Amino acid sequence: MVYETRPRAVYALRNVSLVVREGVFLAVMGDGSPGKTTLLRCLSGEIQPSSGVVRRGPGGGDRGAPLASWVPEPGGAGSVAAAVALGPRLLLADEASEESGAALRRAVKGHGVAAVMSTSAPTVAARADAVVFLRDGGVVDLVAGAGPEVISDCLERSGRVREDRSRDPEDPSRDPDDRSPDPDDPSLS
């Protein structure tokens, strides 16, 4: 997903390949603006990617039910219950709270729906079956069945990925328009 801005394009998502099945609860994390909300908006059908494809299954459980429903924030069990009542196959929550994370876990287990939430809190992410870590629009790590401590470590490590890439001008994943100075470049001394 590319947002055309001046002076250069912003890559909100890059080469993300993700399958979300019914009965699975996925958390998405990343420092700064890694593309979490854009990913959720693509999954909901709210926006279309500038390249690539988003494949969505058939509609929800009942005829006319939406494929995806947003869980409003701030929310909790009541917001999740209202979203589940619409009969979707996928629940989406942006910046989920502890209460809505717990309610999403119950909805996935009790109703067999899929759920994808973004969160900044490792304790909330630990409720999910797996956590995908984004950095600069790309997936940099994935962990399944982890507790808050492991998730915190992965989040910290995923934040360092960009720093490491910015130091290696030969790294093919480095944005060619990123012209930030290399601190190890002898010409800067």
- Angle between helix axes 98-111 and 77-85 (nearest 10 degrees) is 40
pLDDT recorded at residue 98: 92
pLDDT value at residue 52: 80
pLDDT for res 62: 58
Per-residue pLDDT of the chain (189 residues; tens, 9 = 90+): 555 566 766 566 778 888 889 999 999 999 877 789 889 998 998 988 877 888 877 655 555 678 899 998 766 788 899 999 999 999 999 999 999 999 999 999 999 999 999 999 999 999 999 999 998 888 999 999 999 999 999 999 888 654 444 444 444 443 433 333 343 433 332
Q: What is the pTM of this model?
A: 0.77
Cα(121)–Cα(151) distance, integer angstroms: 9
Sorted by sequence, the CB contacts under 8 Å of residue 163 that are 6+ apart come out as none
pLDDT at 136: 85
Distance, in Å, from the CA atom of 112 to the CA atom of 104, rounded to the nearest integer, reads 11
Please tell me what DSSP assigns to residue 175: -
Judge contact between 131 and 29, C-beta under 8 A.
yes
Give me the pLDDT at residue 117, please.
Answer: 96
Q: Rounded CA gap, 28 and 165, in Å? A: 21
